[in-house]
């Protein structure tokens, strides 16, 4: 059994793969980390392959969950698994974005956009030839809302999408959604509105507001890690 880990800024997604299929899939925010060691040990994984963008402290903690298991943390490369990395410095590309692009390659044979909707929003361009041609990074929905709380005197709750918004809660929620959906739409339009894949914790909230050919792929990073490990999935 192999353990695959997508360690993001806000949560950890993980999957156990037996060489043929996903046996278990899960996710945990920081408050739920304490339960991971016992949960993972039940599957007796012999190795772990992961993407970590949450820093060294989180990486060390994850490794300590299974001290007898070797961990392999991926790095973005110039070319791998049919994807060419077009970043000016390839290894500077976030490992979650890299894994998602690898996972998206077989799902977007004609190219398209790979959208990650989490703490940060990313939208990455994948050509029909499998080349990553760059992408955008913006604050995610929750990050936008938290920034307003920290930097203004606005008093608001979660709110909902509404046009027109008639209270502060809805005004903030709607503003954040319009900012991100508008940025994605602008980038998509510049590319001729290709097919899109979206993943991440805020994907379901953002998805209804994207007037695009877009599909939700919840485990895109884990699927990419699986391919990078040499498994067919």
Residue-wise pLDDT for 130-160, tens only, equals 999 999 999 999 999 999 999 999 999 999 9
**Which residues does the annotation mark as catalytic?**
96
Q: What is the rounded CA–CA span in Å between residue 157 and residue 233?
A: 41
Q: Which residue has the tokens 């809805």?
A: 170
Residue 100: pLDDT over 80: yes
Task: Kindly write down the DSSP assignment for every residue of 22-91, as one continuous string.
Answer: EEEEEEEEGGGGGGHHHHHHTT--SEEEEEE-S-HHHHHHHHHHSTTS-EEE----SEETTEEE-SSSGG
pLDDT in tens, 169-214: 999 999 999 999 999 999 999 999 999 999 999 999 999 999 999 9
Residue 4: pLDDT over 80: yes
Q: What is the rounded CA–CA span in Å between residue 147 and residue 168?
A: 15
Residue 1: pLDDT over 90: yes
pLDDT score, position 147: 95
Q: Residue length, the chain?
A: 233
pLDDT score, position 30: 75
Percent of the chain residues past pLDDT 90, beyond the cut: 94
Buried b (16+ CB within 10 A) or exposed e, 10-26: bbbbbbbbeeeeeeeee
Residue 233: pLDDT over 60: no
Residue 232: pLDDT over 70: no
For CA atoms 98, 100, 106, 112, the dihedral sign is negative
pLDDT score, position 58: 94
Compute the average pLDDT of residues 48-57.
96
pLDDT score, position 122: 98
Side by side, the strands of the sheet bearing 71-73 are 22-29, 11-17, 2-7, 47-52, 71-73
The contacts found for 157-163 with CB under 8 angstroms, 24 or more apart, are: 161/209
User: Which domains, and CATH codes, for the chain?
Assistant: 2-75 (3.30.420.40), 108-216 (3.30.420.40)
């Amino acid at each position: 059994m192999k353990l695959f880990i997508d360690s993001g800024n806000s949560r950890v997604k993980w999957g156990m793969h037996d060489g043929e299929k996903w046996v278990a899939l899960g996710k945990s925010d920081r408050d739920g980390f304490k339960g991971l060691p016992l949960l993972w040990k039940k599957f007796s994984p012999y190795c772990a392959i992961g993407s970590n963008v949450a820093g060294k402290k989180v990486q060390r903690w994850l490794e300590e969950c299974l001290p007898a298991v070797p961990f392999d943390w991926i790095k973005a490369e110039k070319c791998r698994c049919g994807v060419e990395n077009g970043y000016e410095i390839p290894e500077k590309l976030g490992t979650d974005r890299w894994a998602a692009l690898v996972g998206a390659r077989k799902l977007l044979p004609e190219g398209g956009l790979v959208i990650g909707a989490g703490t940060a929003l990313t939208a990455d361009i994948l050509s029909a030839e499998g080349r990553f041609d760059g992408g955008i990074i913006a604050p995610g929905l929750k990050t936008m809302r938290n920034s307003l709380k920290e930097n203004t005197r606005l008093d608001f709750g979660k709110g909902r999408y509404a046009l027109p918004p008639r209270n502060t809660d809805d005004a903030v929620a709607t503003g954040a959604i319009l900012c991100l959906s508008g940025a994605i739409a602008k980038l998509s339009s510049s590319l001729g509105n290709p097919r899109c894949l979206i993943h991440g914790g805020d994907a379901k909230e953002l998805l209804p507001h994207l007037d695009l050919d877009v599909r939700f792929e919840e485990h895109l990073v884990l699927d990419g890690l699986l391919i990078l490990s040499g498994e067919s999935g």
